[in-house]
Amino acid sequence: MRKSIETLKNIWKIEDLRQRILITILFIAIYRFGSYVVLPGINPDMLSRLHEQTSEGLLALLNMFSGGAFSNASIFALGIMPYISASIVIQLLAIAVPYFQKLQREGESGRRKINQYTRILTIFILIFQAPSYLINLKMQAGPALNASLDWTFFIITSTIILAAGSMFILWLGERITDKGIGNGISLIIMIGIIARLPQAFSGEFVSRLASPGAGGIIMFLVEIVVLIFVIAAAILLVQGVRKVPVQYAKRIVGNKQYGGARQYIPLKVNAANVMPIIFAQAIMFIPITIVGFSNVASASGVARAFVDHTSFLYNLVFALLIIVFTWFYTAITINPTQMAEDMKRNNGFIPGVKPGKHTADYIDTIMSRITFPGSIFLAIVAVLPAFAGIFGVQAEFAQFFGGTSLLILVGVVLDTLQQVESHLLMRHYDGLLSSGRIKGRSGNVAAY
């Protein structure tokens, strides 16, 4: 306790860090306030059917990512997911289309162009998704609409408002990244998820107390213990590292010898971090967009399976997509050839392995061996909410037993704490932990 108080005092003493934290809190408060600003012409007291629709199924997951804005008919109802979907498409184009490959190699100017294309694509996705959301709103909460509203005028103006709301959230995220602490987009997604936690926790607690035959308070305590173990497993997944030893050859300058030290390349078990699960989740939202939010209940056959996040087919495809995206994202972010060249340039080598191509092949083999179990573990954690639902956990609380929500929470919290700790250590203060440094999703600095 004393250590925690001292750490908080040290954080407050650092002016730059204090300002960044306050700016982050301010922008997050603006985002949370906007999630309760209802679209013009909507009576918020008449949205009970919309709340009921988003209480379970895939729409409940979509509502969680928007921090409840979806069920509130808010100006932020579509959240940040359209931007995530656009980012996935652009990253896929960067693999298949030479023009986008060229942009990636152009450094900062190319990155700006890619960001511009991503925003344009986000707007197109919003123009498609917003009317679908509004049609669903009319179907589920027709009495909430002002009777004097002209429907054509309403759908045009509300589409513009919803698109502007999502782009404003994107702008807030970028400002948090530049002026605040942590990654802004990730923080906004995390805050939306955390906003649903108190309601989900209390709802599960009340449900267990009201049903003593289902285990009552004992079963609720068991759920909390299982949740703690799952969180610990998610932390291990985020922080897992396989260290590869690198020996640096001695260099003689004048009469002095330099080098000769052994260091390590930390190859992460889950080098793709939480991106594969976000990519896969964004793709799994496509069927519900095609079917239409208002037609979820009437969907049948394969369509019904894909709009039910507890179905076997949904979770099978979801797990396979996560495994594929883990391999894909690791392949485009980890370049063994470049790592081998950097080591050779700095007179480094892996003991027992020849420099150059042999080193690159060795690193690639190690990455393949650790990526496969990492991707399987990631997929298992992703589908755990479905298993929690089978054991009687309420849908809203079950989302915190794994899946995208848990991994985002763990990853973003570790990354943010790592940035705070970096500010403390840079100014010669103690870190946040007495037992060692915090390792976020980015891991340690590579030895090369």
Q: How confident is the model at residue 171 (pLDDT cuts 50, 70, 90)?
A: very high
pLDDT score, position 250: 59
Query: Which of 17-26, 123-132, 301-310, 381-390 is least confident?
Result: 301-310
Say how far apart CA 169 and CA 394 lie, in whole Å. Answer: 30
Least confident of 122-136, 288-302, 338-352: 288-302
- Weakest mean pLDDT among 113-127, 378-392, 434-448: 434-448
| Segment of 147-151, 153-157, 346-350 carrying the highest mean pLDDT | 153-157
Average pLDDT over residues 141-145: 70
Q: What mean pLDDT value characterizes the chain?
A: 78
**Are 160 and 148 spatial neighbours (Cβ–Cβ below 8 Å)?**
no
Enter the pTM of the model.
Answer: 0.75
- Res. 161 pLDDT band, cuts 50 70 90: very high
- Which of 86-90, 119-123, 234-238 is the least confident region? 234-238
Instruction: Examine the pLDDT at 447 and tell me if it is beyond 60.
Output: no
Residue 443 has pLDDT above 50, yes or no: no
pLDDT tens-digit profile of 204-231? 888 877 776 656 778 888 888 888 888 8
Nearest to 187 by CA among 442, 411, 385: 411
Q: In angstroms, what CA-CA distances link 240 with 94, 269, 378?
A: 28, 5, 12
pLDDT at 69: 83
Model confidence at 440: pLDDT above 60: no
For residue 275, the number of C-alpha atoms closer than 13 Å in the C-beta half-sphere is 19
Question: What one-letter code names the amino acid at 334?
Answer: I
Cα separation of 181 and 249, whole Å?
39
* Separation between Cα atoms, residue 323 and residue 377, nearest integer Å: 9
Q: Provide the β-strand partners of residue 38.
A: 74
Which pLDDT belongs to residue 296?
Answer: 58
> What pLDDT is stored for residue 441 in this prediction?
52
* Res. 446: pLDDT tops 50: no
- Highest mean pLDDT, choosing among 114-128, 345-359, 432-446: 114-128
Q: Which CATH superfamily is domain 2-426 in?
A: SecY subunit domain (1.10.3370.10)
Mean pLDDT of all residues in 338-362: 82
* Nearest CA-CA partner of 396 in 127, 260, 197, 151: 197
Asked whether the beta carbons of 170 and 123 are under 8 A apart, the reply is no
pLDDT of residue 377: 83
The span from the CA of 389 to the CA of 404, in Å, is 16
Question: Which stretch of DSSP H or E encloses residue 200?
Answer: helix 184-210
Mean pLDDT on 418-429: 77
Rounded percentage of the chain residues whose pLDDT exceeds 70:
83
In 285-356, alpha helices (H): 286-291, 301-306, 312-333, 336-345
Higher pLDDT, 441 or 98: 98
Q: In what order do the strands lie in the sheet with 262-268?
A: 262-268, 241-248, 348-349
pLDDT at 87 over 70: yes
How many helices (H) and strands (E) would you count in the chain? Answer: 18, 5
Contact 172, 30 (CB under 8 A): yes
Is 273 a residue whose pLDDT tops 90? Answer: no
253 pLDDT tier (thresholds 50, 70, 90): very low
Q: Can you give the pLDDT at residue 278?
A: 74
Query: What pLDDT score was predicted for residue 369?
Result: 83
The per-residue pLDDT for 123 is: 92
Is pLDDT above 90 for 43? no
